[in-house]
Amino acid sequence: MPETQNELDRRLTARGVATRARIVAAADELMSLKGAAATTLDEVTAGSGTSKSQFYRHFSDKSALVQAVIALRGSRVMEREEQYLRRVDSLRGLDRWRRAVIQRVTVRRGALGCELGSLSTELSDRDEDARIDLDAHLTAWISLLADALERMRANGTLRPEADTQALATGIMAALQGGYVLAQAARDPGPMEIALELAMASVQAQATSA
């Protein structure tokens, strides 16, 4: 039986989606190694096995590609962090999250830094659209931490007066600073110190402190 137009449209759409995903994945990998500014469109098309005409079918320019990479990384990071943080309601649970972070940094010996933080450092002062997108993802990450701390306050683990939003922001600041220092030193040690200090701030608000 000959293929109907709807079946053909679906097949072409699926192919287009796959092509776009391949381009974004190649750009993500290249930008992890070289940074966004140093990554060229020629490298992206070569890495994804696509042509320039295919690229421009999906992206108006490099800035649009950068935003797609940010969206990919944001989705990946938030999925991972939700798995760790969505049920955290105790100091022990928060410490398990801390140990998971340190393990990831240790495996890479500090290399590559944070998927979102590294782009924010590079782009926030020169690409306003990228800055806005990155801020949204980082703010959502802080919210996951704040929600975990709020559950701890609600169940009596933390004092009623504990400022969970401030504590979550402090943890994120320690996390991002830890990534930068661990990356420069090729050593997870700075991350361990940063998160230990952040956890101490949380523990200071515990009802048993």
Residue 158 has phi, psi (to 5 degrees) of -105, 155
pLDDT reported for residue 15 = 85
Instruction: For 117-153, give the secondary structure using H, E and C.
Output: HHHHHHHCCCCHHHHHHHHHHHHHHHHHHHHHHHHHH
Residue 115: per-residue pLDDT: 95
What does the alpha-carbon distance between residue 94 and residue 92 come to, in Å, rounded to a whole number? 5
Looking at residue 124, its amino acid is: S
Task: Give the Å distances, CA to CA, from 204 to 83, 101, 156.
Answer: 26, 21, 14
pLDDT for res 8: 44
Q: How far apart are CA 7 and CA 143, in angstroms?
A: 42
Give the pTM.
0.89
C-alpha 55/C-alpha 62 separation (Å) is 10
Cα–Cα distance measured from residue 187 to residue 176, given in angstroms and rounded to the nearest whole number = 15
61 contact partners, CB below 8 Å, separation of at least 6: none
Partners of 158 in the β-ladder: 206
Tokens representing 57 are 């079918």
pLDDT for res 101: 97
Q: 206: which DSSP letter?
A: B
Which segments of the chain have a pLDDT < 70? 1-12, 209
Q: What is the pLDDT of residue 13?
A: 83
**Confidence at residue 5, expressed as pLDDT on a 0 to 100 scale:** 47
Both tokens of 202, joined, read: 């949380």
Token pair, residue 161, equals 């007066």
